[in-house]
Structure 1
Amino acid sequence: MKTRLLLAAILLATAACTGLPGGHATPAPGLTLASWNVEHLAERDGTGCRPRTAADYAAMRAHVERLDADVVAFQEVESRAAAERVFDPARWTVLVEERIGTPRTSACGGRAKGQTIRAQRTGFAIRKGLPFDRQPDLTALQLGDPDLRSGVDVILRPRGGQPLRLLSVHLKSGCSAGDRNEACPVLFRQVPVLEQWIDRRAAEGMRFAVLGDFNRRLALPGDAVWAEWDDASPANADLSLAAGDRTAQCNPRYRDFIDHIVLDRRAAADLAGFDEATYAGEALSDHCAISARLR
């Protein structure tokens, strides 16, 4: 009897150590990728085109932790210092594009009258402990314009898992569909630059994903930009949008995503789920974060 009781106690203790109800085995490791345009994130309180208070930054930090992502591609941050107000440097490694840009003097207007626009940079926040190698920024996306965003390029090397190459982008705004708007010629010059990056990655032996604010409704039937990229040439350039046929819920005025997580054929085969993190109260940004979980 004493032996049976001792064995039962050991089994219960083992179950408790898993941290899972009933002592179920720990789930197979996965990787959650997210993208969030944080809308004019400035270094200091009360500055930039979305002036924020200390409480606003705290709410954004809490929102990030609720995402429970391993990697977050972000857009519209003034600097690394600005990003670290949202991504706690004790928990995240923050990478920001190296582009300097030109001094910004344009007035914000609207609710930020008296303020001037700050730099808008893209980058990544990577959970501490997740190994990675940073690659050179994709500066060709700037088209020679210092105020267009470059792409931040990293290779994740999760322990016990396959490497994954990621690119964080923020493409030219103002051409969400069609080709007639004033901004469209610029966006359409960025398209082959990104296609070249995609095709090079597709020819390599590594999964990849492009994340960020594409400022384009890529899921529209017959979209010309998506057709250029999703051409299955090379074979792994048979691409997928992680959102699938989901519609955006962030703002009822806009049903089509312009923020995307684009997966190559190999990464798409590992897709286990997609989510959009809407806001329960006041919106923390004019964009909602999206995330994809890979097995």
Structure 2
Amino acid sequence: MKSLIALSLSAVAVSGCMGWPSGRDAQGLKVASWNMEHLAERDGEGCNPRTEADYARLRDHAEALGADVIAFQEVQNRAAAERVFDPAVYDVVMSGRPPSTRSGECRGRPGLFIQNQAVGFAIRKGVPWTRNPDLSALALGNPDLRWGVDVTVSCGRPVRLLAVHLKSGCNSGRQPTDPDCPVLFEQLPVLEGWTEARAREGQSFVVLGDWNRRLASRDDAFLADLNDGDPAASMLTLTSGGQAAGCKARYREYIDFIATGADATARVRPGSFEEYRYGGVPEDQHPSDHCPISVRIAD
């Protein structure tokens, strides 16, 4: 009986994702990253207070994005995420980190206060997934730094996904006198340990999220340290390639990335990287200060 059950499960995995429209899984799994800029549970709260109409627009954009798995950042809690990602359509997976103790006034917004900023995933129902332990070490013991959220999805060959939101304030260079740079570079060996472990296990893996770092800049020190080539399969490729960011006119370099390990890189659909710019609405009408990015990964 056990062998028959195992055989049935294998057949489901090979045939694709249950409940998908015919031919959808043949295009590959569409994975995305989206910093949602202080998405709060309730109207009028947080550093980007929203109305129900704003949440409705976010729901429309989530549908238009059409991703199967979305790694999200800056979301207060599960209730906030489910205001955008309909729980009838998506499974929401939240970081296990206790709520941050940061609650100061929002910069330049008197009377508004910082809410918890959590990392998580929205996974379309029908996509098989399992949860792995959070990468809590990424917080360096600081309750205000974010944990990584780690899931495995398997619409065919499994792929391990790690959602991250790294320390802000050190988007280039490696200034030791800058209070933010030493913290970001302390997170590096934790992240490197995770990628190297996946490579040694022979797993296909992706690290995606808000890196708060211009990794695609020439000779970026953070990416160079991370990509030391040992083992070779741990080398990360930025799926955005040499494309310039277009979300904001004043920022032409990405800080959000979908980075693939060697095995996952071989599975990326050529030309599938996209930056979703909210249907071309003017920048001042964007519902977040980040635009979602996505790529397709073949089974």
Matched, 1:226 2:223: yes
Q: Alignment partner for residue 173 of structure 1, among 168, 172, 183?
A: 168
Rounded Cα–Cα distance in structure 2 between residues aligned with 1:81 and 1:26: 29
Rounded Cα–Cα distance in structure 2 between residues aligned with 1:291 and 1:193: 25
1:136 equivalent in structure 2: 133
More strand as a share of residues: 1
Rounded Cα–Cα distance in structure 1 between residues aligned with 2:164 and 2:47: 21
Letter in 2 for 1:50: N
Q: Alignment partner for residue 183 of structure 1, among 168, 180, 184?
A: 180
TM-score (norm 2): 0.87
SS in 1 for 2:56: helix
Q: Alignment partner for residue 286 of structure 2, among 263, 277, 283?
A: 283
1:185-222 deviation digits (Å, cap 9, x = unpaired) = 10000001000000001111220000000000001111
Letter in 2 for 1:133: T
Q: Alignment partner for residue 98 of structure 2, among 100, 105, 129?
A: 100
- Do the aligned partners of residues 117 and 232 (structure 1) sit closer, same or farther apart at CA in structure 2, a change above 3 Å counting? same
Rounded Cα–Cα distance in structure 1 between residues aligned with 2:25 and 2:182: 47
Rounded Cα–Cα distance in structure 1 between residues aligned with 2:103 and 2:154: 41
1:8 equivalent in structure 2: none
SS in 1 for 2:57: helix
Letter in 2 for 1:89: P
Letter in 2 for 1:84: E
1:73 equivalent in structure 2: 71
SS in 2 for 1:113: coil
Matched, 1:89 2:84: no
The RMSD of aligned alpha carbons is: 1.5
Q: Alignment partner for residue 126 of structure 1, among 115, 123, 127?
A: 123
1:234-288 deviation digits (Å, cap 9, x = unpaired) = 1211221010111100001111110000001111111111000013221110000
2:3 equivalent in structure 1: none
TM-score (norm 1): 0.88
Check conservation: 2:105, 2:112, Cα contact below 8 A.
yes
Matched, 1:60 2:58: yes
Letter in 2 for 1:136: P
Q: Which has the larger radius of gyration?
A: 1
Q: How many residues align?
A: 270
Check conservation: 2:102, 2:144, Cα contact below 8 A.
no
Letter in 1 for 2:233: N
Check conservation: 1:137, 1:152, Cα contact below 8 A.
yes
Rounded Cα–Cα distance in structure 2 between residues aligned with 1:275 and 1:26: 17
Q: CA deviation at 1:184?
A: 0.2
Rounded Cα–Cα distance in structure 2 between residues aligned with 1:222 and 1:166: 26
Letter in 2 for 1:49: C
1:158-187 deviation digits (Å, cap 9, x = unpaired) = 1xx100000000000000000123200100
SS in 2 for 1:269: helix
1:83-102 deviation digits (Å, cap 9, x = unpaired) = 10111111000011011134
SS in 2 for 1:108: coil
1:93-131 deviation digits (Å, cap 9, x = unpaired) = 001101113433300143x42111000000100000111
Matched, 1:292 2:291: no
2:263 equivalent in structure 1: 266
- My pick for the range that moved more, 194-203 or 99-108, is 99-108
Check conservation: 2:27, 2:296, Cα contact below 8 A.
no
1:247 equivalent in structure 2: 244
Check conservation: 1:232, 1:238, Cα contact below 8 A.
yes
Gaps of 5+ in 1: 1-18
Check conservation: 1:131, 1:156, Cα contact below 8 A.
yes
- Which stretches of structure 1, 4 residues or more, deviate above 3 A after TM superposition? 101-104
Rounded Cα–Cα distance in structure 2 between residues aligned with 1:203 and 1:234: 7
